[in-house]
Amino acid sequence: MSIALRVPSYIRAISPYVPGKPITELARQMGIAVEKIVKLASNENPRGMSPKARKAVEAALAGAERYPDQFDLIAALAERHGVAAEQVVLGNGSNDVLDMAARVFLAPGRSAVFSQHAFAVYPLATMSAGAECIVAPARHYGHDPAAMFAAIRPDTHLVWIANPNNPTGNFLPQAELRAFIEKIPPHVAVVLDEAYTEYLAPVDRADTVAWIGDIPNLIVTRTFSKIYGLAGLRVGYGVARAEVADLLNRVRQPFNVNNLALAGALAALDDHVFVADSFDLNRRGMEQIVAGLKRLGLDHIPSHGNFVTIAVADGAAVNHKLLQQGVIVRPIGGYGLPNHLRVTIGLEAENLRFLEALDKALRA
């Protein structure tokens, strides 16, 4: 009998993650030159990485024969957030931290709650740990705290929250979010995934890491993949109470973040100009795309991230017509949104290419 037939049923039930189509793949499939392709599918920073981070990565190549030391990046993050180093857990991308949380708090016979249209990694991590997914209905495509609270069962040990959410871009105001998290029973871990927090308007920001002081079951995750422009290096982190961080570290692979990623993240963290410029570019690009959508008569879900989700009649059909024109966006039928497409805010010229291609796709 094949080994594949003997794996736990919860592993067989997992639908693999579907990433944004790589530029090279579309080039092969459609015979389009790589330089002619615009990829706005994975919420990457269109400006590339910070020049300071690039320099640091190049310098770190010199020590590639040595195992990595996480000390400096952890110390810098602890200082940035005003917490002890023991409270910071590094991940190979923040997805890695999400996976650690699932393995620590979930198991067969347990359940996790998340919202309809929430990030695809929550069901993946939950199911990998053998736990059951409880999906709470969304409110205007975003998290509905009342529905999520009502979904919590006695066997629930983890609640996943993305704020802002991906793929919808919804944002739960911080006061409402905090009131919700405070109500969650203290034996239930709460993972607050803030991958897009740097894109929030200043008035919407809050020091959520400080909430850990009053809410001991809270884990806040952040990433270097989005505004910091290091998606390909894979580095993110979680902040929690020291006793929680200690548990996460028990399931963490010892050298989960490589030398280049550690050096790049450390330099990126201090490149405030790069972050501020990326923020401004995103704000202008969002205005450009939203204005373009209005001209095309298309609705969108108001977004607080570096992407926007657009209502089209048939997501798969419009996506195909965009691909034929060398424009890659993200179909999100897998998120229960078959009539929407998610587009990442790009450079001005990329946004223009997208809007022109979309116009054509809708007429064709």
Ligand X SMILES: *Cc1c(COP(=O)(O)O)cnc(C)c1O
Q: Which two tokens stand for residue 40?
A: 């706005």
Task: Please name the amino acid found at residue 161.
Answer: I
Name the minimum Å distance from CB 191 to ligand X. Answer: 10
Name the minimum Å distance from CB 293 to ligand X. Answer: 21
Name the minimum Å distance from CB 36 to ligand X. Answer: 26
Q: Which two tokens stand for residue 205?
A: 């920001």
Q: Which residues, 6 or more positions from 183, have their beta carbon under 8 angstroms from its beta carbon?
A: 149
**CB under 6 A: which stretch of 49-57, 143-151, 220-228, 311-319 binds ligand X?**
220-228
Per-position x/- string for 55-84, each x denoting binding to ligand X as judged by CB under 6 A, each - no binding: ------------------------------
Q: What is the Cα–Cα distance from 60 to 54, expressed in whole angstroms?
A: 10
Which sign does the torsion angle of CA 114, 115, 121, 127 carry? Answer: positive
Name the minimum Å distance from CB 79 to ligand X. Answer: 21
**Inter-residue contact 92 to 234 (CB < 8 Å):** yes
Count of residues engaged in binding ligand X, rule: CB under 6 A: 14
- Based on the shown chain and the rule CB under 6 A, indicate whether residue 282 belongs to the binding site for ligand X: no
C-beta nearest to ligand X: residue: 93
**CB under 6 A: which stretch of 108-116, 136-144, 205-213, 219-227 binds ligand X?**
219-227
Q: What is the Cα–Cα distance from 106 to 126, expressed in whole angstroms?
A: 7
Name the minimum Å distance from CB 169 to ligand X. Answer: 10
Q: If you search the block for the tokens 């007429």, which residue do you land on? A: 363
The closest alpha carbon to 171, from 278, 308, 277, 55, belongs to 308
Per-position x/- string for 222-251, each x denoting binding to ligand X as judged by CB under 6 A, each - no binding: -x-xx----x----x---------------
Site for ligand X in 184-203 (CB under 6 A): 193, 195
**CB under 6 A: which stretch of 67-75, 88-96, 317-325, 350-358 binds ligand X?**
88-96
Among 95, 168, 325, 344, contact with ligand X (rule: CB under 6 A): 95
- Based on the shown chain and the rule CB under 6 A, indicate whether residue 162 belongs to the binding site for ligand X: yes
Q: What DSSP string describes 197-231?
A: GGGS-GGG---GGGGGGT-TTEEEEEESSSTT--T
Name the minimum Å distance from CB 233 to ligand X. Answer: 9
The closest alpha carbon to 147, from 126, 124, 172, belongs to 172
Cα within 13 Å of Cα(57), Cβ side: 18
Q: What is the Cα–Cα distance from 195 to 165, expressed in whole angstroms?
A: 9
DSSP strand pairing (330-332 vs 300-301):
unpaired
Name the minimum Å distance from CB 93 to ligand X. Answer: 3
**CB under 6 A: which stretch of 78-86, 218-226, 244-252, 275-283 binds ligand X?**
218-226
Among 119, 160, 199, 335, contact with ligand X (rule: CB under 6 A): 119
Among 45, 70, 87, 94, contact with ligand X (rule: CB under 6 A): 94
Q: What is the Cα–Cα distance from 350 to 333, expressed in whole angstroms?
A: 24
Contact residues for ligand X, defined by CB under 6 A = 43, 93-95, 119, 162, 166, 193, 195, 223, 225-226, 231, 236
